[in-house]
Amino acid sequence: MLESFYNIMMTDWLSIFFVALIILISIPICLFSIGYVKEYRQNYSIKYIYSMMTFFILSMIGVVFSNNSIVFMIFWEIMSMTSFFLVIYEYKNKENLSSGIMYFVMTHISGLVLMIMFALIYKYTNSFDFKEIMEYSNKFTLTQKTIIFILAIIGFGAKAGLMPLHAWLPKAHPSAPSNVSALMSGVMLKVAVYGFIRTAFMFLGDVPYSYGISLMIIGTLTAIISILNASAQRNMKKLLAYSSAENIGLIFSVLGLAIIFKSYGLNTLAVLALTAGLFHAVNHGIFKSLLFTAAGSVLYSTGTKNMNELGGLYKKMKFATFCAFVGTAAISAIPPLNGFASEVAIFMSFIQVAGKIDSIWMIVIILCGSILALTSGAVMYVSVKSFGITYLGEPRSIKAQNIHKVPISMNIGMGLLSVYAILFGVLSKFIFEYIIKISQDIINVGNIRLDENTLQNFVGFDIVVMASIIISVTVVFLLVNYITRKNKTFKVYDTWGCGFNEAKPYMQYSGSGFTQPLSKIATSIIGYKKTVLKEETIFFRQHTTDMIEKYLYNPIISLVDYLAIKITKIHYGQIQVYIAYIIMSLIIAVVCVVKFI
Amino acid sequence: MLIYIVYILQPLLILLLAPLFMGILGKVKACFRGYTGPSVFQVYYDIAKLMKKDEVISKSSSFVTTIGPLFTLVAAVSCTFIIPVFYTSLAFSFGNIFVIIFTLGIIKFITSLIGLDSASTFGGMGSSRELFISMLAEPIMFVVITFLFIETKSFNIFTIAYANSTQLSFGPGHVLAALAFFILLLAENARMPVDNPETHLELTMVHEAMILDLSGKRLAYIELASAIKFVLFLTILINGFLPYGIATGLNLLTMGTAIILFIIKLIGCLIVIAVIETTMAKFRLFRVPELLTFAFALGIVSIIINHYA
């Protein structure tokens, strides 16, 4: 019985790793959902969201476990469809429907490209079975490899949110309920990463280094442009969506680096780079779900996503604030949390290139690494903004003052994710060791012994040492503090206003003002514009546009609109004519397929 | 036996002397400006006085203000344990330079949240600027560490110090990278062309603006943490780029000379900083990116020179 399961399932380390990731992160999100969906009880169906979420999670596990490209595509489409239905869950809001359509189109572009890719793989290898394809891997010709690689970047990249196919992320995430955003960002994007690793590393085997370099550059550009866009957002969930695209860029660029190392025969370094990428995929899943669930609890209790209306939430939701603090610290790479562990590993993999690869590419890789370093600085800027403006200070509007109480199950979900974030940082040494085994399996170095010295120089051990130093110093300090405490600890009084006693909450820094210096120096990248309106009072407005959406998507959308208007002329409204159209397109399709195969 | 003394003495030296070095910096600056200035021990007195004082905390503030300052000090103190001061050998298996830099980042993270915590406009302004500057400083950190890795093939600061102390000659890249790190040091520690540590003028302050609402013990913690962070950055500069005379054997005499040499080198760096601080004006905020881009360019050039030389 079990053996027959092994035959229909993919049970190598890579699949098991990603299934573990899906289950690990889905459990706290499901716990969170129990409380969170109460918000929708009056207007929407609860059964609908539960059943869709169950199908969604199961289909993701199905994608990762499938060992056949047809089964893979079926689960992939179920995953896309259920997530689409979850995105448009709040269908009474028209804006959600239009962003849902955007997601629908993008996810089907991804599905279509993947179908073409698997059809081509079938054409070349005569097999749907993943194990057979993997055995065939080195018989692909260079042209075949190139075509499959490009299709994989487009297909999986559109699902994961690589530039310029990221445009659905900042639309779908704010529309979806927060628990769904947490699932989509924390887990579904990782399924796309899984698909990419499966194709690029295991189906294609050895590929030229230029593939890796192009992937690394795409990833790096995604990271920097997304984080600059994130900095300008005032909608919490939009900010997190852009930040997801940033992390995906980071993961893909380090995967590109692994491909480069592999093609140069530097297997140890390739294993390390892939380990860093996989570890970051888990860590991003953890802290991004944590931040999305925290944003969800803010939305639940205040009813607004606009951080310029929030502030001072810690007074009424202490536990959620603490969890959001852990998530913010993790995403800003604060030791000893998990984001720090994988970020350091990524930087170290980038630097190891020095002196091992031809000079010109070495400089390119180091430049990419420094852009990622800039990105990591920007991440701290953006996440401090997101946390500080939302939870700290004084309430900026009446919405942030009248707060609903958060149900206990939501707190349990967030608490569990915070515990993950801490454990995956402090114990990163042991997790690194496991992931290194998985990467060895993927890179297919078999029993070749890796360079022990490089492995030992890898960061895990240092983090454990640092974490224990930090914890012991903290304990000592807290003890000293406790012993030397006075009876009267401190006096609570108004904030010092430099002699100005009329300080009002709206005089605090706003979210938009906080990152204005960055918007100012990145004006052309994020389309930053400020206008001063003089009416009865003086208004100051600043807004940004996603330049890729403006210059790439809008022309295509207007072209499609234009063609659609032209085509309406052949719509006569007679059923016979439509049947004729169907038959004609069927014939064309059959001819194409026959020609093609 | 001696190695345990080293383990204890190295962090203790930084912890105890950090305020003294700040005092010396103040004294040197006072000399350049032509007045006597406070005693070099003034920083100790200040901290002792702050520890004794009563505290006032803003009624807007949260756990970030109440326990945050302690954690900044924890971060600074933790770093002193994994950094070479006067003794280094290849036997140290910890001391990853990234871990040190990121741990020092805790101070930046918490102080910028404290800035937003008190609901004061100055705090928000300070943390916005601090993070803006430190964001642009991050690539410099990356290229400088890359340079050190190319030179010594290690991320371990002990190994880096060991390898560079035995090296007889350095290329021009070494000087450029050291210069880039020096500019990074000025930017990260709120020093002169980037931030003026002495002023409380509303529109120019960065670091001071964030901690404007702290007092008493908590202010003392943050001030001490900043002093330790400053000295730690100088220690990385000294032991990463000019580690001549650092003790590599467990011998009391060499270690004694190493301690004296370290203090002399550190005071030399402080004099350079004092010269910069007394002769230069603070940059406008939007001129700072130019300075940091210059430092980044220096780092990249140093890597290229080192690679082709």
Q: Which residues of B touch A481 (CB under 8 A)?
A: 70
- Kindly tell me the burial class for residue A399, based on how many C-beta atoms sit within 10 Å of its own C-beta (0-12, 13-18, 19 or more): middle
Alpha-carbon span A346 to A284, nearest angstrom: 13
Structure tokens at A53: 């979420």
- Residue A238 structure tokens: 């939009």
- Closest-CA residue to A258 (of A201, A203, A202): A201
Q: What is the pLDDT of residues A80-139, one digit of tens each?
A: 999 999 888 888 888 888 888 889 988 988 999 999 898 888 888 888 888 888 887 778
pTM: 0.92
- Between CA A176 and CA A179 the distance in angstroms is 8
Please give the pLDDT value at position B245: 81
Query: Are A373 and B142 a contacting pair at CB < 8 A?
Result: yes
Q: What is residue B5's predicted lDDT score, i.e. its pLDDT?
A: 84
| Residue of A360, A485, A502, A509 to mutate, interface with B, max B Cβ within 10 Å | A509
Q: Do A387 and B113 touch (CB under 8 A)?
A: yes
Q: Name the β-bridge partners of B87.
A: B247
Question: Which pair of structure tokens corresponds to residue B307?
Answer: 């690679």
How large is the angle between the packed helices A359-391 and B121-152, nearest 10 degrees?
Answer: 160
A·B CB contacts under 8 A: 235
* Under-70 pLDDT residues of chain A: 1-7, 445-460, 486-489, 597
Q: What is the dihedral of CA B43, B47, B49, B53, to 10 degrees?
A: 150
Of B123, B128, B296, the CB nearest to A517: B128
Q: Cβ–Cβ contacts within 10 Å for residue A471, how many?
A: 14
8 Å CB contact between A141 and A205: no
Find, in chain A, the residue whose alpha carbon is nearest to that of B303.
Answer: A363
The CA distance from B190 to B30, in Å, is: 19
| The two three-digit tokens of residue B210, written as one number | 């964030």
Helices (H), chain B: 2-33, 42-52, 63-80, 97-117, 121-152, 157-166, 172-188, 207-210, 216-241, 252-279, 288-308
The answer to whether the CB atoms of B96 and A462 lie below 8 A apart is yes
Query: Which tokens is B135 given?
Result: 């964001």
For residues A164 and A548, the answer to whether their CB atoms sit within 8 Å is yes
The pair of structure tokens assigned to A283 is 């860590």
Alpha-carbon gap: A309 to the closest alpha carbon of chain B (Å): 14
Beta bridge pairs of residue A317: none
Residue B103 near residue A468, CB atoms below 8 Å: no
A514 neighbourhood in chain B, CB within 8 Å: 124, 127-128
DSSP state of A540: E
| Sequence-ordered list of residues with C-beta below 8 angstroms from that of A326, at least 6 positions apart, any chain | A290, A337, A418, A421, A422
> CA nearest A110: which of A145, A152, A72, A81?
A152
Mutate which of B120, B143, B213, B291 to disrupt the A interface (most A C-beta within 10 Å)?
A: B120
Instruction: Name the residue among A378, A394, A462 with its Cβ closest to that of B135.
Output: A378
Q: For the segment B33-68, what is each residue's pLDDT rounded down to a tens digit?
A: 998 888 999 999 999 998 888 888 888 888 888 888
Residue pair B113/A509 in contact by the 8 Å Cβ criterion? no
**Which residues touch A125 (CB under 8 Å, ≥6 apart)?**
A132, A133, A136, A139
Distance from CA of A465 to the nearest CA of B (A): 7
Q: Which of B155, B232, B287 would you mutate first to test chain A, the one with the most A CBs within 10 A?
A: B155
- For chain A, helix (H) and strand (E) counts, in that order, are 26, 3
Domain count, chain B: 1
Nearest one of B144, B156, B141, B151 to B88, comparing CA atoms: B156
Bridge partner residues of A207 (DSSP): none
In B, minimum Cα distance to A491 occurs at B56
Provide, as residue numbers in chain A, all residues whose Cβ is less than 8 Å from the Cβ of B195. Answer: none
Residue-by-residue DSSP string for A212-261: HHHHHHHHHHHHHHHHHHHHT--BHHHHHHHHHHHHHHHHHHHHHHHHHH
Report the chain B residue with the minimal C-alpha distance to residue A509.
Answer: B124
Check CB contact under 8 Å for B150 and A355. yes
Element (H, E) at A69: helix A69-87
CB atoms A314 and B146 under 8 Å: no
Q: Which of B67, B78, B159, B194 to mutate to test the interface with A (most CBs of A within 10 A)?
A: B78
Q: What are the Cα distances from residue A572, in Å, to A227, A586, A587? A: 49, 20, 21
Are B70 and A477 a contacting pair at CB < 8 A? yes
**Residue A546 has what pLDDT?**
81
| Chain B residues within 8 A of A341 when measuring between CB atoms | none
DSSP A543: E
A215, two tokens: 């992937």
Q: Which of A269, A384, A468 is most worth mutating to test chain B (most B CB atoms within 10 A of its CB)?
A: A384
Cα angle vertex A332, ends B104, A167, to 5°? 155
Phi, psi of B56 (to 5 degrees): -120, 130
Report which DSSP code applies to B245.
Answer: T
Distance between CA A46 and CA A57 in Å, rounded?
Answer: 17
Distance of alpha carbon A516 from alpha carbon A233, whole angstroms: 11
Query: Residue B201's closest chain A neighbor by CA?
Result: A498
What's A66's DSSP letter? B
Pairwise CA distance, residues A91 & A86, whole Å: 10
Q: Do B139 and A370 lie within an 8 Å CB cutoff?
A: yes
Q: Name the residue among A325, A481, A495 with its Cβ closest to that of B58.
A: A495
Return phi, psi of residue B87, to 5°. Answer: -130, 135
In chain B, % of residues over pLDDT 90: 38
pLDDT at position B73, please? 92
CA distances A62 to A71, A176, A347, A518, A552, Å, are 8, 23, 33, 42, 34
Two tokens at A335?
Answer: 């030791």
CB contact under 8 A, A473 and B128: no
Which range marks the domain in which residue B38 is found?
Answer: 2-308
Which among A340, A389, A496 is the nearest to B120, CB-wise?
A: A496
Task: Report the residue of B116, B218, B222 to disrupt the A interface, i.e. the one with the largest count of A CBs within 10 Å.
Answer: B116
Strand duo A491-493 + B56-58: pairing: parallel
d(CA B256, CA B9): 12
Which among B71, B131, B142 has CB closest to A370? B142
Instruction: For Cα atoms A225, A212, A16, give the angle at the middle one, nearest 5 degrees.
Output: 90
DSSP 8-state secondary structure symbol assigned to residue A275 = H
Rounded average pLDDT over B9-13: 89
Q: Pick from A89, A97, A63, A100: which is nearest to A78 by CA? A: A63
Written as six digits, the tokens of A192 are: 């796309």
For helices B97-117 and B121-152, what crossing angle results, to 10°? 180
Q: How far apart are CA A446 and CA A453, in angstroms?
A: 19
pLDDT digit string, tens, across residues B138-186 = 999 999 999 998 888 888 888 888 888 888 778 888 899 999 999 999 9
Tell me if residue A363 falls in helix, strand or coil: helix
Of the candidates A347, A392, A481, which has its C-beta nearest B98's C-beta?
Answer: A347
CB A292, CB A186: distance < 8 Å: yes
Q: Would you call B121 and A393 a contact, using CB atoms and an 8 Å cutoff?
A: no
CA dist A110 and A189 (Å) reads: 13
- Among A355, A374, A521, the residue with its CB nearest the CB of B138 is A374
A366 closest CB neighbour out of B106, B127, B146: B146
- What phi-psi label fits residue A573: left (phi over 0), alpha (psi between -120 and 50 degrees) or beta? left
Which is nearest to A292 in space by CA: A320, A264, A272, A313? A320
**C-beta neighbour count of A344 within 10 angstroms:** 26
Q: In the block, which residue shows the tokens 């006693």?
A: A501
Q: Is this complex's ipTM strictly greater than 0.90?
A: yes
Residues 6+ apart with CB under 8 A from A292: A173, A178, A179, A181, A182, A185, A186, A237, A240
Q: What is the dihedral of CA A538, A539, A542, A543, to 10 degrees?
A: -150
Q: Which amino acid is residue B193, in one-letter code? A: P
Looking at residues B67-73, what average pLDDT do you find?
90
If we measure between CA atoms, which residue out of B161, B298, B295 comes closest to residue B235? Answer: B161
B71/A489 touch (CB, cutoff 8 Å), yes or no = no
> Cβ B94–A488 below 8 Å, yes or no?
no
- Select from A374, A392, A494 the Cβ nearest to the Cβ of B139: A374
User: Which DSSP state fits A91?
Assistant: T
Q: Measure in Å the smallest separation between the Cα of A373 and chain B Cα atoms.
A: 5
Residue B168 CA to residue A292 CA, distance in Å, equals: 54
Measured in whole angstroms, how far is the alpha carbon of residue B140 from the centre of its chain?
15
- Inter-chain CB proximity B99 and A521 less than 8 Å: no
More confident residue, A472 or B201: A472
Beta bridge partners of A306: A235
pLDDT, position B166 = 82
Distance from CA of B36 to the nearest CA of A (A): 30
Q: Kindly report the nearest CA distance between residue B21 and chain A, in angstroms.
A: 23
Question: Which tokens in the block code for residue A93?
Answer: 């809001």
Handedness of CA A394, B128, A253, A241 (dihedral sign): positive
